[in-house]
A = this chain, B = another copy of it.
Amino acid sequence: MKSLTYAEENYLKAIYHLSEEGKKEVSTNSISDELKTKPASVSDMIKKLAVKGVINHKKYQGVRITTSGIEAALQIVRKHRLWEVFLVNKLNFNWDEVHEVAEELEHIQSPLLIQRLDEFLGYPKYDPHGDPIPDETGTYKLKPKTPLNELQVGDSGQIIAVKDSSAAFLQYLDKVGAYIGAKIRVIDKVEFDGSLEILVDNKKNLFVSKDVSKNILITNI
């Protein structure tokens, strides 16, 4: 299979992510929304991707990613998330600063580079946002994610990801001392407003509103 151009990689990744969200068929408009391009541009690109065999397409019927498309997309996702780990763990970037740079770095073409980077980082299984990193074969494992607000008093676990990854929300978390990987336990729950008291890393008590707890995902309850 011929390799993909920079733009083709971006379209395929968008289609892959949209395919993950439930339905099999991805619409032209949803792709153009995701990538901030016009539907006409998407139609053009769909033809190219279909020729390369990474998607199937019938006119006016949306797009379906193929097995080989999923494989290719997973390798791009793998690169993106490995670079995010590098930026956060080695270069001390914050969560909210890594995405755009990783968008560029993910397109670097060098299998050896990615293999060595993976090794250098200690073969991480999850990126700084808690999303799984596929291995060279495309295999990955999701951690079960439960919104913090669904936990009961006494439940414990680890912050694995956030739903709202806006800079504002990430900065709030930083400020109160919560972070991806923090161990937490639910100390008290106020039924009236759904707010929680949680213990962070066995040392710090924190009160969070339901609005906040809905956006924090916990694993390993």
Q: Could you list which residues of chain A lie within 8 angstroms of chain B, going by C-beta atoms?
A: 87, 90-93, 97, 100-101, 104-105, 108-110, 112-113, 116-117, 119-120
Q: Which 5 A-B pairs have the closest CB atoms?
A: A91-B116, A101-B110, A104-B108, A101-B113, A91-B120
Number of chain copies forming the complex: 2
Contact A112 B97, beta carbon cutoff 8 Å: yes
Q: Which residues of chain B are within 8 angstroms of A112 by Cβ–Cβ distance? A: 93, 97, 101
Contact B120 A110, beta carbon cutoff 8 Å: no
A109-B103 Cα distance, complex, nearest whole Å = 11
A120-B92 Cα distance, complex, nearest whole Å = 9
Besides the contacts A97-B112, A105-B105, what 13 more A-B pairs have beta carbons closer than 8 Å? A87-B113, A91-B116, A91-B117, A91-B119, A92-B116, A93-B112, A93-B116, A100-B110, A101-B108, A101-B110, A101-B113, A104-B110, A105-B108
Q: Which residues of chain B are within 8 angstroms of A93 by Cβ–Cβ distance? A: 112, 116
State the Cβ distance, A28 to closest chain B Cβ, in Å.
28
